[in-house]
Amino acid sequence: MPDCWFGKEAEQFLASLSSKSQNIGKENLKKPATNPFPGDGGDKERLDLPTDPPVYRMHIGRSYTAFHHIDIEQKRVKIDMITTIEQAHNQDGR
């Protein structure tokens, strides 16, 4: 099972939310640590971006989206950014 850690931007966004939203976010953000790849265990998707390592997107409840990447060698998942679903869709052209 990989470790999961937060980038500075993700930590700041999570800290800015209400305590109820923080609790929902923290619970949902445990999912990549148990199964970081798309498939069973959460709403995760690999983005079609020319990045190495690949970037994955995961919806958190109905309001937020987290972007993460997986370091297979180090067995770590890094939550790079959390944003609203609207902002995330604007960024990827939806």
Q: Compute the Cα dihedral for 73, 75, 79, 85 and give only its sign.
A: positive
Beta strands in the chain (DSSP E): 3-6, 44-46, 55-60, 64-71, 76-84
Per-residue pLDDT of the chain (94 residues; tens, 9 = 90+): 567 788 899 999 999 999 998 888 888 887 777 777 776 655 778 888 888 888 888 888 788 999 988 888 888 889 999 999 888 877 654 4
Q: What is the CATH number of the domain that holds 42?
A: 3.30.2310.20
Q: Residues with Cβ < 8 Å from 64, sequence gap 6 or more?
A: 21, 25, 82, 83, 84, 85
Where does residue 66 rank: exposed (0-12), middle (13-18), buried (19+ CB within 10 A)? buried
Domain that holds residue 34: 3-91
How much is the pTM?
0.80
Q: Count of domains in the chain?
A: 1
CB of 81 closer than 8 Å to CB of 66: yes
pLDDT, position 61: 78
Q: Report the pLDDT value the prediction gives residue 89, as an integer from 0 to 100.
A: 74
- Among residues 6, 2, 65, the alpha carbon closest in space to that of 35 is found at 2
